Amino acid sequence: MIAEAVRSIRGQLPEGVRLLAVSKFNPPEAIREAYDAGQRLFGESQAQELRAKHELLPDDIEWHFIGHLQTNKIKYIAPYVSLIHSVDTPRLLAEISRHGVRCGRRIPCLLQLHVAREETKYGFLPRELDEYLAGGEWRTLEGVELRGLMCMASNVSDEGQIAREFQSAADFFRHCRRTYFATQPSFCECSWGMSGDWPVAVRHGSTLVRVGSLIFGERIYQ
Ligand SMILES: *Cc1c(COP(=O)(O)O)cnc(C)c1O
């Protein structure tokens, strides 16, 4: 079932859009099934869980971090994490950079944009992010590389609203790329779309969909 879901979603993605299989709370055996179906990108939302799975599973897996990251947990994933999707403050980016320098690498990061209506979601407001990027301090951070933006749409059934939120993220991404990253083609990633809204996300600029329950089934939180 896991293998079928992975193949089915991958088969529906247009060229240039990748699937991140969100494996949080799922056991290594489930990840292994997706791996055997050819999946190599996996996303986790807790640093220690990511580390444990990284130690157990094949080396050619790209591990992505997608959850809220506390600065005291960066150390668990800094040496090998392929992409941190959820950078939501300047301070967190600076701390990740410190760890990157210590590990001798530039850690790829996405800046999390807040476009949803809900107040509880993390992330920069577009105006805040614009001010931060205009400030230019991020250019001095030698242990990170900014690869693009991440966002989550509101958890609503109104597809029109979800589409508008993703489209505003896509428009803002284009603005950032043109204004701040014109000479940096590696700023190219738009991480949006989850199990419930990935097809909408793909129609509105996503290059990386983060799909969990559609692949692994409903999560059991303990
Ligand atoms: C859990 C999670 C996902 C996957 O959610 P599903 O609805 O299970 O696909 C995607 N992105 C983030 C940030 C998450 O925390």
Query: Is the shortest distance between the CB of 200 and ligand 1 below 6 Å?
Result: no
Query: Is the shortest distance between the CB of 78 and ligand 1 below 6 Å?
Result: no
Q: What are phi and psi of 64, to 5 degrees?
A: -110, 140
Q: b or e along 39-76 (b: 16 or more beta carbons within 10 Å of the residue's beta carbon)?
A: bebbbbbbbebbbebbeebeeebebbbbbebeeebbeb
Q: Closest Cα to residue 21, out of 38, 190, 84, 12?
A: 38
Q: How far is the CA of 213 from the centre of ligand 1 (A)?
A: 8
Looking at ligand 1, which residue's alpha carbon is closest to its atom 6?
212
Residue the block writes with tokens 């999946």 = 39
Q: How far is the CA of 134 from the centre of ligand 1 (A)?
A: 30
Domains and CATH numbers, the chain: 2-216 (3.20.20.10)
Q: Whole-angstrom Cα distance, residue 143 to residue 94?
A: 8
Along the 222 residues of the chain, how does pLDDT read in single tens digits? Answer: 999 999 999 999 999 999 999 999 999 999 999 999 999 999 999 999 999 999 999 999 999 999 999 999 999 999 999 999 999 999 999 999 999 999 999 999 999 999 988 766 689 999 999 999 999 999 999 999 999 999 999 999 999 999 999 999 999 999 999 999 999 999 999 999 999 999 999 999 999 999 999 999 987 664
Query: Is the shortest distance between the CB of 9 and ligand 1 below 6 Å?
Result: no
Q: Closest Cα to residue 26, out of 17, 18, 35, 37?
A: 35
Q: Whole-angstrom Cα distance, residue 68 to residue 155?
A: 18
Point out which residues pair with 42 in neighbouring strands.
21, 63
